[in-house]
C-alpha cells in the first residue's frame, strides 16, 4: 500500500488560509444533498426502516429523553391498537439471566439515537446517517487523490442505484456502520501524516465510536489492523506503522475500555460483553462440537444444560439450532433461565475448543465462506409490525407509531424483489469492473488505490468470518458490507476518468475535509 505525496488540496496545515464561509456552506449543502439521496429508501417507505432489535435501541434512547419513562421505569403503551409489551421477547427472555441493560448489545448506538428519540427529529435519522456516510465517502475520495464534486456525485448516484448502502442508511440499526468502519479506517490511517492535531483527534474519536457500535466490529478491526501493519512492516511502503498504531490500535483500545467500563458501571462485571459466551456456545452447539462434548461429559459434570441435552438439537427445520437455542421459547436458554448459565457457557466453550480445536476452526472457516455468499437484502424490509416494536416507537410519540404502521414496510408493500435485483446487478457489475481494470488498466491505477481495494475486500471477508464463524449465518450480516464491492468499482472508475481528464481541480480545504 504505497502512498504518494498527497495532492495539495488534501494537506491541511496552519499555513493555509481558513476556508471561506461560502466554501463551508457549499460543502455542507453538497453532503446534505448526497445524504438525502442515500436515504431514498426511507423516503419511499415514508418512515425509517425498523428491525426487531430496533425496539431495544429506541427504548434505551427514549429512557434518556423522556422523564416520564424514567419515573415509571417502564415504556409507555402504544395507543394505536398494539398489545402492550415492555420490551422485545429477546429482552424479556434474558431478564431472568441478567439485569444488565447492555447484556445483549452495547449502548453505543442507543447514545447516537438520543438526539432523534423525540417526535420532531426521528424522521431525520436516515438523513443524518446519510450525511455521515457522504462525509466518509468524500474523505475517502480525497484521500486517494480524487478531487472535485463530479466524481463524488457520480459515486453517490452509483451507490444509490446499485448497492445496499441506501437501505442501511434508512434503517434505525447500527448495521450501517460496519462498511463505514472499513472505509474510515483506510481514511484515518492513510491521511494521518497530513492531518492537523484537531483532525487527528476527530478521526480517533470517530474510529472509537465506529468500533464500539457493534461487537462484531472488534474482530473486523483487528483484521484490518493486521493488514495495515503487514503493509507497513513487510511491504516497505510509505504507510507508517505509527499511523496504524495511533489511528487504528488506539481507537480499538478506547472502544474496548468504553465497552468494559459500561458493563462494569451497570453490572460490576469488567467484560466486553456478558452475553458473548452464550452466543459462542450457540454456534458450537449448532456446529456439533459442544453437543459432542456435553454428551461425553454430562455423566461427570453437573452442567445445567445436561438436563436439556436431548432437546438441544430438537429444532424446527426452518430454524437453525443456534437460533433455537438462544431465542426460541422452547430453547435451552429460555427453559433454564438461570444466571449461572453464562458462567457455565464459558466453561463449556473453553472445554469444547480444547477438545475439538480442528473441528471448531474448520467449522468457523466453513461458516465464514457460507456467510460470504449470503449477502442478499433480508425479507425484514417487509416485516409485519410486531406489538413490542410498535410499543417502543410509541415511546417517541403515538403519532410516530401510527406513521410506522402506515409505512410500506409494515404493510408488506416495499419492493423487495426489485431491491434484491438491483443489489445483485451492482455486485455482479462491481466484480466485472474490478477484474477488468486489474487486467487491462492495472498499471494505470496507483498502488494506494489497490490498497483500498484490498482493504475493502478484507473487510467483507472479515465480516463474514466474524459473523458466520461466531454467530449464525444470516443474509443481513453480509448485506451490511456488500456495498463495498460496488464502491471499490466506482472508485476505480473515478481514478481512470481522472487520469484521462488530466489534472484534478483544486478543492479548497474545509473543516469537513
Please name which of 275, 451, 459 lies closest in space to residue 375, comparing C-alpha atoms: 459
Residue 6 pLDDT > 70 = no
Mean pLDDT over each residue of the chain, to the nearest integer: 88
Half-sphere exposure of 434 (CA within 13 A, CB side): 21
SS3 307: helix
Containing 65, the helix (H) or strand (E) segment is helix 54-65
Distance CA 434, CA 441 (A): 10
pLDDT grade, residue 501 (50/70/90)? low
Task: Give percent of the chain with pLDDT exceeding 70.
Answer: 88
- Cell 458450537 belongs to residue: 284
- pLDDT tens digits, 288-303: 999 999 999 999 988 9
Among 22-31, 67-76, 143-152, 225-234, name the one with the lowest average pLDDT.
Answer: 67-76
Q: What are the backbone angles phi and psi of residue 49, rounded to the nearest 5°? A: -70, 145
Residue 96 pLDDT > 90 = no
Is 334 within a domain? Answer: no
Residue 17 pLDDT > 70 = no
Is 291 within a domain? Answer: no
3-state SS string for 433-493: HHHHHHHHCHHHCCHHHHHHHHHHHHHHHHHHHHHHHHCCCCHHHHHCCCCHHHHHHHHHH
Identify the pLDDT of residue 83: 31
Average pLDDT of the segment spanning 102-112: 94
Is 506 within a domain? Answer: no
Q: Which of left, alpha, beta for 373 (phi over 0: left; psi -120 to 50: alpha)?
A: alpha
- Cell 434505551 belongs to residue: 60
DSSP string, 78-93: PSSSPPP-SS-HHHHH
For the stretch 436-443, contacts whose Cβ atoms lie closer than 8 Å and that sit 24 or more positions apart, written own/partner, are 437/492, 437/493, 437/496, 441/496
Identify the pLDDT of residue 319: 86
CA torsion sign for 395, 399, 400, 403 is positive
Distance CA 47, CA 124 (A): 10
Identify the pLDDT of residue 79: 32
Is 66 within a domain? Answer: yes
- pTM for the predicted model, two decimal places: 0.90
Residue 237 pLDDT > 60 = yes
Distance CA 267, CA 215 (A): 18
Residue 248, Cβ neighbours under 10 Å: how many?
25
Is 388 within a domain? Answer: yes
Identify the pLDDT of residue 504: 40
Average pLDDT of the segment spanning 120-134: 97
Please state the domain count of the chain. Answer: 1
Which domain covers residue 470, as residue numbers? 8-269+378-501
Task: Give percent of the chain with pLDDT exceeding 90.
Answer: 72
Among 10-14, 251-255, 399-403, 404-408, name the one with the lowest average pLDDT.
Answer: 10-14
Distance CA 495, CA 297 (A): 60
Q: Are 243 and 233 in contact (CB under 8 A)?
A: no
- pLDDT tens digits, 318-370: 788 898 999 888 889 988 989 999 999 999 999 999 999 999 999 999 999 99
Is 367 within a domain? Answer: no
Distance CA 114, CA 60 (A): 8
Torsion of CA 441, 443, 445, 449, to 10 degrees: 120
Q: Which three cell numbers stand for residue 347?
A: 466453561
pLDDT grade, residue 20 (50/70/90)? confident
Could you report how far apart the first and last alpha carbons of the chain are, in Å? Answer: 22
For the stretch 315-319, contacts whose Cβ atoms lie closer than 8 Å and that sit 24 or more positions apart, written own/partner, are none
2-39 burial code (b ≥16 CB/10 A, e <16): ebeebbebbbbeeeeeebeeebeeebeebbeebbbbbb
- pLDDT tens digits, 252-300: 999 999 999 999 999 999 999 999 999 999 999 999 999 999 999 999 9
Is 365 within a domain? Answer: no
Average pLDDT of the segment spanning 12-40: 81
359-377 burial code (b ≥16 CB/10 A, e <16): bbeebbeebbbebbebbbb
253-275 burial code (b ≥16 CB/10 A, e <16): ebbbebbeebbeeebebebbbbb
Identify the pLDDT of residue 10: 38
Distance CA 408, CA 24 (A): 37
DSSP string, 216-263: THHHHHHHHHHHHHHHHHHS--S--HHHHIIIIIHHHHHHHHHHHHHH
Is 203 within a domain? Answer: yes
Identify the pLDDT of residue 67: 66
- pLDDT tens digits, 53-94: 999 999 889 887 776 655 555 443 333 333 333 456 556 668
Residue 374 pLDDT > 80 = yes
Residue 249 pLDDT > 90 = yes
Average pLDDT of the segment spanning 444-465: 96
Q: Which three cell numbers stand for residue 80?
A: 394505536
Q: Are 388 and 484 in contact (CB under 8 A)?
A: no
Residue 304 pLDDT > 90 = yes
pLDDT grade, residue 51 (50/70/90)? very high
List C-alpha distances in Å: 177 to 38, 44, 200, 283: 14, 22, 20, 24
Amino acid at each position: 500500500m504505497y502512498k504518494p505525496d498527497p495532492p495539495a488540496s488534501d494537506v491541511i496545515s496552519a499555513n493555509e488560509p481558513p476556508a471561506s464561509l461560502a466554501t463551508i456552506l457549499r460543502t455542507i449543502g453538497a453532503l446534505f444533498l448526497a445524504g438525502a439521496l442515500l436515504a431514498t429508501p426511507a423516503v419511499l417507505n415514508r418512515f425509517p426502516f425498523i428491525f426487531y432489535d430496533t425496539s431495544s435501541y429506541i427504548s434505551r434512547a427514549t429512557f434518556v429523553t423522556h422523564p416520564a419513562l424514567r419515573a415509571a421505569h417502564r415504556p409507555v403503551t402504544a395507543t394505536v391498537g398494539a398489545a402492550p409489551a415492555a420490551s422485545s421477547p429477546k429482552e424479556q427472555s434474558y431478564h431472568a439471566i441478567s439485569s444488565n441493560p447492555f447484556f445483549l448489545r452495547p449502548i453505543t448506538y442507543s447514545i447516537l439515537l438520543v438526539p432523534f428519540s423525540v417526535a420532531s427529529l426521528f424522521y431525520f435519522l436516515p438523513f443524518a446517517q446519510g450525511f455521515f456516510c457522504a462525509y466518509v465517502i468524500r474523505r475517502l475520495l480525497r484521500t486517494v487523490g480524487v478531487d472535485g464534486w463530479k466524481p463524488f456525485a457520480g459515486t453517490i448516484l452509483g451507490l444509490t442505484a446499485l448497492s445496499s448502502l441506501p437501505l442501511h442508511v434508512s434503517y434505525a440499526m447500527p448495521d450501517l456502520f460496519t462498511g463505514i468502519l472499513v472505509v474510515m479506517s483506510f481514511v484515518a490511517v492513510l491521511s494521518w501524516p497530513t492531518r492537523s492535531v484537531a483532525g487527528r483527534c476527530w478521526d480517533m474519536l470517530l474510529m472509537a465510536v465506529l468500533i464500539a457500535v457493534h461487537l462484531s466490529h472488534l474482530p473486523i478491526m483487528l483484521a484490518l489492523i493486521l493488514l495495515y501493519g503487514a503493509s507497513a512492516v513487510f511491504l516497505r511502503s510509505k504507510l507508517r506503522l505509527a499511523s496504524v498504531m495511533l489511528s487504528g490500535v488506539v481507537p480499538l483500545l478506547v472502544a474496548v475500555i468504553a465497552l468494559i467500563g459500561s458493563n462494569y458501571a451497570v453490572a460490576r462485571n469488567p467484560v466486553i460483553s456478558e452475553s458473548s459466551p452464550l452466543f459462542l456456545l450457540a454456534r458450537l452447539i449448532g456446529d456439533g462440537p459442544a453437543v459432542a462434548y456435553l454428551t461425553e461429559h454430562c455423566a461427570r459434570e453437573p452442567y445445567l444444560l445436561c438436563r436439556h441435552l436431548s432437546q438441544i438439537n430438537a429444532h424446527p427445520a426452518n430454524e437453525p439450532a443456534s437460533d433455537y437455542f438462544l431465542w426460541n421459547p422452547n430453547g435451552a436458554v429460555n427453559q433454564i433461565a438461570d444466571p449461572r448459565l453464562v458462567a457455565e457457557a464459558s466453561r463449556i466453550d473453553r472445554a469444547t475448543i480444547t477438545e475439538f480445536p480442528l473441528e471448531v476452526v474448520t467449522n468457523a472457516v466453513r461458516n465464514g465462506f457460507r456467510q460470504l455468499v449470503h449477502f442478499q437484502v433480508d425479507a425484514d424490509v417487509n416485516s409485519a409490525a410486531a406489538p413490542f416494536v410498535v410499543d417502543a416507537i410509541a415511546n417517541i410519540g403515538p403519532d410516530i407509531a401510527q406513521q410506522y404502521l402506515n409505512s410500506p414496510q409494515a404493510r408488506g408493500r416495499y419492493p423487495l424483489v426489485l431491491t434484491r435485483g438491483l443489489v445483485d446487478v451492482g455486485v455482479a457489475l462491481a466484480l466485472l469492473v474490478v477484474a477488468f481494470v486489474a487486467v487491462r488498466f492495472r498499471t494505470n491505477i496507483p498502488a494506494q488505490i489497490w490498497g483500498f481495494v484490498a482493504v475493502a475486500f478484507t473487510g467483507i471477508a472479515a465480516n463474514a468470518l466474524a459473523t458466520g464463524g461466531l454467530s449464525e449465518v444470516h443474509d443481513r450480516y453480509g448485506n451490511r458490507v456488500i456495498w463495498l464491492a460496488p464502491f471499490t468499482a466506482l472508485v476505480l472508475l473515478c481514478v481512470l476518468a481522472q487520469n484521462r481528464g488530466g489534472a484534478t481541480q483544486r478543492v479548497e480545504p474545509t473543516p469537513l475535509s
